[in-house]
Amino acid sequence: MQVPSYCRGCGAPLQSQDPNLPGYVPPAAMGRENLRCQRCYRILHYGQREEVEGKREDYLAAVRRGIREGDLVVMVFDLVDFEGSWSEEFNSLIGAKPLLAVLNKFDLLPRQVKREEVETWAGNRLRALGREPVAVVPVSSTRGWGIKGLVAKISAQLGKGDRAVLVGATNVGKSSLINALESRAGYFPSLTTSPYPGTTQNLVRVDLPAAGFLLIDTPGLAQPGRLSDLLCPECSRRLIPAGELSRKTYKLSPGQSLLLGGLAGFTIAGGAPRPILIAFAARDVVFHITRRERVDQILAHHSGDWLLPPCRNCRVEEWQKITLTAREGEDVVVPGLGWLTVRRGPVDLEVAVPAGVKPVVRPALIRPRE
């Protein structure tokens, strides 16, 4: 019997020498068919979080190999963290290969948001970032929504024998998407999924004969400047919405501050007399209004207490303040956390975020209904 060389769940080369390295399988299990490494088995059957020693350089090399092998790059975006899903590094890695953008987690947006609006918005955002996509496809990998249309879009871009390579940042839902594609084709899902980064360790090749193409999954890459990547794994998981986004509307006066957990503060510095802001984030993020002069005290005494996230173990110690202006119909985004939509403005904001995180002003993702 031929011993499989790669874990069918995460793509790590199988080995039975060191349980602390990726791909470990107990010696007695080696030689069995359709093996998963011990880490994937525990994640799948017990929901355990399993640490492995993985280097970003190795993940990056695997992504490069996958893109070289692929004829079409299928990039998965977390629609509720679009800016945290993209970077110039990805733009450089993709190079001249055609790009099909998959907007995952569409189901987390408010129900009144239309698919066509999201497609147009994302296409414009990518063009503004210097990339012309061949197609933009909103989906929900957890609910199976839009998967049939995605298969058709990918197939339309590929010739006989061509391959599609799946790329994306950590925790955008790449493995869940492949499992949804397999389920659509009548196969039992094979990839290991978890809410923690680093689940996929190497290239995983998934043949989808019913769809007519081979899909190559690659490890997710943590993105520089994404707030969720600066926290402990449990707090990072709390920033990933498990259901529809939490949203609240505020009319604020100059000198008032809106805190999103203990992770970001927005202080009204000028602009319209009473700007209207709509805050969007995961439901685990506590929203709190206070005065500018009380922000430091609240963060010092209550971050990690009732002002969550973060927990006390990963409280922000080094802050930076950025001043920016946003107009009506624009979002102020903190990658990896959430955003504010300016409903009435303009508004001048003093934005306090952890060092290394860069807020972004963009056209509003969710347009109000008149």
Q: Does some domain include residue 261? A: yes
Q: According to the model, what pLDDT value does residue 326 have?
A: 98
- One domain for residues 251 and 199: no
Residues 137 and 165 occupy one common structural domain:
yes
pLDDT at 33: 67
Strands, E, within the chain: which ranges? 72-78, 99-104, 135-138, 163-168, 204-208, 213-217, 246-251, 256-260, 264-271, 276-281, 287-291, 319-326, 330-334, 338-344, 347-354, 360-363
What is the domain count for the chain? 3
Token digits of residue 313: 């173990």
pLDDT of residue 154: 94
Last residue of a domain, one of 224, 248, 264: 224
Helix (H) or strand (E) holding 366: none
Residue 369 lies in a domain: no
Q: Which of 285, 291, 196, 304 is nearest to 246 (CA)?
A: 285
Taking only the tens of pLDDT, the chain with its 370 residues reads 344 477 766 777 778 888 877 777 888 777 776 677 777 777 665 555 555 546 778 889 999 999 999 999 999 999 999 999 999 999 999 999 999 999 999 999 998 899 999 999 999 999 999 999 999 999 999 898 999 999 999 999 998 889 999 999 988 988 888 888 877 654 444 444 444 444 554 688 888 877 788 889 898 898 888 999 899 988 998 998 888 899 999 999 999 999 999 999 999 999 999 999 999 999 999 999 999 999 999 998 999 999 999 999 999 999 999 999 999 999 999 999 999 999 999 999 999 999 999 999 999 999 876 5
pLDDT of residue 49: 57
* 65 in the same domain as 39: no
Q: Are residues 156 and 184 in the same domain?
A: yes
Q: Are residues 281 and 187 in the same domain?
A: no
Per-residue tokens: 10: 């995460």
Q: Where are the alpha helices (DSSP H) in the chain?
A: 38-46, 56-69, 82-85, 88-94, 115-128, 147-157, 174-184, 233-238, 295-302
Neighbours of 69 (CB within 10 A): 14
Is there a domain that residue 37 lies in? yes
Q: Do 48 and 60 share a domain, yes or no?
A: no
Same domain, 47 and 63: no
Has residue 272 been placed in a domain? Answer: yes
pLDDT for 237 equals 87
38 and 174 assigned to the same domain = no
Give residue 192's pLDDT. 42
- Same-domain status, 260 and 202: no
How is residue 166 written in tokens? 């799946």
Query: Do residues 47 and 60 both lie within one domain?
Result: no
Indicate the DSSP class of residue 228.
Answer: G
Boundaries of domain holding 17: 1-53
Contacts for 172 with CB less than 8 Å, ≥ 6 apart: 76, 77, 78, 81, 85, 104, 220
Residues 124 and 197 in one domain: yes
Strand order in the sheet with 99-104: 135-138, 99-104, 72-78, 163-168, 213-217, 204-208
Whether 38 and 82 map to the same domain: the answer is: no
Query: Cα–Cα distance between 160 and 137 in angstroms, integer?
Result: 22
What would the two tokens of residue 363 be?
A: 């056209």
pTM (predicted TM-score): 0.82
